[in-house]
Structures are given as C-alpha cells and as structure tokens.
Amino acid sequence: GDSVTQMEGPVTLSEEAFLTINCTYTATGYPSLFWYVQYPGEGLQLLLKATKADDKGSNKGFEATYRKETTSFHLEKGSVQVSDSAVYFCALSGRAAGNKLTFGGGTRVLVKP
C-alpha cells in the first residue's frame, strides 16, 4: 500500500537558518503530494501541494518539488522564523486509494530566537 516516510524530529534551528525536511513516498499511480503544518493545539493546515511530477509547491517561503524519479517531496525554507515552530506532515493522496490521505510520521520543528 501507499506509505510516506519523513525524517524524524525534533529539528531545532536558530532563526534565519535554512530548513530541510526530507520526505519520500511509495504509491501506485500518480499521487498528489502535500505538506501540512500543525501549530500547537490546532488542527492541520495545508501548507503547499503538488499534483504532478516536477511541480513545485510554494507558500509562506516554503517550497517543495515533486520528484518522481526519486519519489521525494522535500520541504525547504531558506530563512526560518520563530513562528515556523510547528509539526510538519508530508502526505500523499491518490485516486486509487479513494483520495484518502496517507501521512508521514510528522517532524517537529523548533526555531529558537
């Protein structure tokens, strides 16, 4: 079945540092890929998405490129802020799975001033 693997956290960074969170997937067909963010005590918010190979999703300074050849969707941000402290989830959704989302384990990011 479908699966998503992302790097374990926690990841602790200083403000303005570069952030990368690795995400790889296995899936049948051509899934859509997502990054969700969860701030403390809140539900999930879609951060960005990509629906086909070589697509780049971007939002709030975050970027991720759909790499079919490496089955990856790594999340990057060039200069993090304290407000980026959250848990980040990589996920995929495929029509073959009835559009259900399969999530990675989540990566907790803590940005210190």
Nearer to another protein, 65 or 103 (CB): 103
- What does the alpha-carbon distance between residue 38 and residue 45 come to, in Å, rounded to a whole number? 6
- What does the alpha-carbon distance between residue 63 and residue 44 come to, in Å, rounded to a whole number? 18
> What b/e sequence results for 83-96 when a residue is b if at least 16 CB atoms lie within 10 Å of its CB, and e otherwise?
ebbbbbbbbbbbee
Out of 17, 44, 96, 110, point to the residue binding another protein (CB under 8 A): 44
Nearer to another protein, 46 or 82 (CB): 46
Residue 21 found at the interface with another protein (CB under 8 A): no
- What does the alpha-carbon distance between residue 59 and residue 93 come to, in Å, rounded to a whole number? 19
Asked if 25 and 71 touch (Cβ cutoff 8 Å), the reply is yes
Residue 35 found at the interface with another protein (CB under 8 A): no
Which residues within the stretch 54-93 sit at the binding site for another protein (CB under 8 A)? Answer: 89, 93
Residue 99 found at the interface with another protein (CB under 8 A): yes
As to burial, measured by CB atoms within 10 angstroms (0-12 exposed, 13-18 middle, 19+ buried), residue 38 is middle
Out of 84, 104, 109, 111, point to the residue binding another protein (CB under 8 A): 104
| # residues contacting another protein (CB under 8 A) | 23
| Residues at the site binding another protein, with contacts judged by CB under 8 A | 32, 34, 36, 41-46, 49, 51, 89, 93, 98-106, 108
